[in-house]
Structure 1
Amino acid sequence: MSSFRPKYVTFDCYGTLTNFQMAEAARDLYGAVLEEAAMVDFIRDFAAYRLDEILGDWKPYADVIANALERTCKKNHVAFKPEHGEAVYAHVPTWGPHPDVPAGLAKVAKEIPLVILSNAMNAQIGSNVAKLGAPFHGVYTAQQANAYKPRMKAFEFMFDMLGCGPEDVTHCSSSFRYDLMTAHDLGIRNKVWVNRRHEPANPYYGYVEIENISALPGVFGL
């Protein structure tokens, strides 16, 4: 891909750039009442319900978290309290980047404009982006798009805002289910998978694999 210089490098934010800490939040809330094996099941279910919650019509992310947490608690026979969902949502803006992110992003940003497409609220994302250590040409949210990834509508909103098409970008994400499968279906040929070890490899979708963002400049021959 080093011979391809996109108009934009587009990114997922949470998980790919920002250290996504939903599992840690669940442990903080329920680790004292669940044995380790049950806690692992709880974390897995919480992730699955969050994905399920965003596949329909858009709703505020606070509702996504609260609904997913309540459903997870019900399945795992744990008492749910609304304030638990509120606490998890309130903590999201405090999350910072993975250690490898700032230097790698900054190097790419000197040559190619960076863009974020995130499953976030407008008021939520700014604090996380400010911690990433690099300038961004654009930051687009699910709230603006009125749709969450992996829905195509979110990506199409980003293309409309940038005035470009799938052929003009390289999309970078640590998630197939949220990003890279949809990117493939939309015709984004140039994709980068950041292997954060939370999903298995899936070569069918065609991508360059990197271990972390420190390796991203090399993808473009920088």
Structure 2
Amino acid sequence: MIDFEPKYITFDCYGTLTNFRMADVARQLYGDKLDAAQMDRFVEYFRGYRLDEVLGAWKPFRDVVANAVRRTCERTGMPYDEATAAKIYDAVPKWGPHPDVPEGLARLAKKYRLVILSNAADEQIDSNVAKLGAPFYRVYTAQQAQAYKPLQKAFEYMFAQLDCNPEDVLHVSSSFRYDLMTAYDMGIRHKAFVNRRHEPLNPYYGVTEVSGIPDLASQLGL
């Protein structure tokens, strides 16, 4: 059980709530040009370059995706096509939640104020949030913060907007690299790791592991 009553439950969106299918779309677009092993490498490089692209000064998410595709193509010897990169970016608003999410969020929303902090563009996030099926008190994006997670500036923006402190929230994510390591560094004591199997559990960072959002609600006594 999570023995804590947060002022807010703050969530990562893409990957944690929304089924983030960027690797799937890359496979659809490049799978006929690469064999299975090459495609696996392409997806891994693409994942790494997306993280690298958000670590500096803020840039539009469209540029993050395009630059990551371009760098991946250069590394794998594939020709880069701007229109193909745009197809990956344009797919994002179409994605809906993981199957467990609507039920779990509905239970949580009966008691708690729910907040999203997402590495998203303003023009995309409303479509994704609408598909989650629950009311959110606030939704903040990297575009608004002018910083992407894992930079602390993104979290600082959220805390300033909510007029609260790190110790006031329960932060929920399926990613240590983007969220939970930074949350630990910032003094967010209460953290939940939603194990979506795309990153391993790392107990060092003081998280409560949950299998999904309904499990999170159960851990909070709902």
TM range (shorter): over 0.9
Q: For residue 169 of structure 2, what is the aligned residue in structure 1?
A: 169
Q: For residue 135 of structure 1, what is the aligned residue in structure 2?
A: 135
Displacement after TM superposition at 1:100 (Å): 0.3
Q: For residue 149 of structure 1, what is the aligned residue in structure 2?
A: 149
Unaligned runs of 5+ residues in structure 1 are none
Output the TM-score relative to the length of structure 1. 0.99
Partner of 1:115, secondary structure, is strand
RMSD: 0.7
Question: Which amino acid in structure 2 is aligned with residue 38 of structure 1?
Answer: Q
CA contact (8 A) 1:3 1:221 kept: no
Displacement after TM superposition at 1:57 (Å): 0.2
Question: Which amino acid in structure 1 is aligned with residue 16 of structure 2?
Answer: T
Q: Using the alignment, how far apart are the partners of 2:90 and 2:2 within structure 1?
A: 40
Q: For residue 18 of structure 2, what is the aligned residue in structure 1?
A: 18
Q: For residue 216 of structure 2, what is the aligned residue in structure 1?
A: 216
CA contact (8 A) 1:2 1:218 kept: no
Displacement after TM superposition at 1:21 (Å): 0.4
Q: Using the alignment, how far apart are the partners of 1:12 and 1:6 within structure 2?
A: 16
1:121-142 alpha-carbon deviations (Å, 9 max, x no partner): 1111000000001000000000
Paired residues for 1:181-196 under 5 Å: 181-196=181-196
Q: For residue 107 of structure 1, what is the aligned residue in structure 2?
A: 107
CA contact (8 A) 1:19 1:95 kept: yes
Q: Using the alignment, how far apart are the partners of 2:165 and 2:44 within structure 1?
A: 35
Output the TM-score relative to the length of structure 2. 0.99
Q: For residue 94 of structure 1, what is the aligned residue in structure 2?
A: 94
Partner of 2:215, secondary structure, is helix
Question: Which amino acid in structure 1 is aligned with residue 193 of structure 2?
Answer: W
The number of residues matched between the two structures is 222
Partner of 1:16, secondary structure, is coil
Unaligned runs of 5+ residues in structure 2 are none
Displacement after TM superposition at 1:2 (Å): 3.0
Q: Using the alignment, how far apart are the partners of 2:3 and 2:60 within structure 1?
A: 40
Q: Using the alignment, how far apart are the partners of 1:187 and 1:112 within structure 2?
A: 21
Q: Which stretches of structure 1, 4 residues or longer, exceed 4 Å deviation after superposition?
A: none
1:15-42 alpha-carbon deviations (Å, 9 max, x no partner): 0000000111110111001111111110
Percent identity (aligned): 62
Partner of 1:156, secondary structure, is helix
